[in-house]
Amino acid sequence: MKLSRIGVLALVISALTAGAAVADDQHVDGKYRGHTDGKFFTKNAQGEGHYRRAKVTFIATDTRISHIRFEVRVTCPDGTHFSTVSKHGGSIPIGFDGHFNGSASNPGGEDVFKGRIVDNRASGRLRRTIAVSGHGTCSSGSVEWKAVHVSE
């Protein structure tokens, strides 16, 4: 093999190896905090109720997300609405391209949390379905969320 061909081959191999290293390290590990597109009803210390942006948090490592917590409003078949908090102690694997998709059972329903992390930003969709006594099976529908890496 000629010297020039060996040089070209070495460049191709190093470019492929560098590309794999970059794809493997697509996001910043640590805590992510953000919000959903939905509103959340809460009460302050004086017992006065108000709506605010619903929150989402989780922790990312190089291979998984865990400590998932999100707030969402669900709508029931009878037209009532409820604000609810979902907390999960399990984890969801992160794919090579930064995508993740997981679900977990809750009493009377299911929570779905999916998205993608790139660099220090994450976004995706979530859904909560939950049985509420006297109101039927309530659902948030598909709700978009966004989060960023936070230093703590």
Each residue's pLDDT tens digit, 100-143 = 999 998 878 899 999 999 999 999 999 999 999 999 999 999 99
Compute the average pLDDT of residues 45-49: 84
Between CA 122 and CA 8 the distance in angstroms is: 37
pTM metric for this prediction: 0.78
Q: Which CATH class is domain 27-149?
A: mainly beta
Each residue's pLDDT tens digit, 61-77 = 999 999 999 999 999 99
- Phi then psi for residue 76, to 5 deg, are -100, 160
Between CA 7 and CA 86 the distance in angstroms is: 55
pLDDT band at 25 (very low <50, low <70, confident <90, very high): low
pLDDT band at 45 (very low <50, low <70, confident <90, very high): confident
- Residues 6 or more apart whose CB falls under 8 angstroms from that of 7 comprise none
Please report which helix (H) or strand (E) contains residue 4, including its range: helix 3-24
Q: What is the structure's pLDDT at 152?
A: 65
Between CA 98 and CA 65 the distance in angstroms is: 11
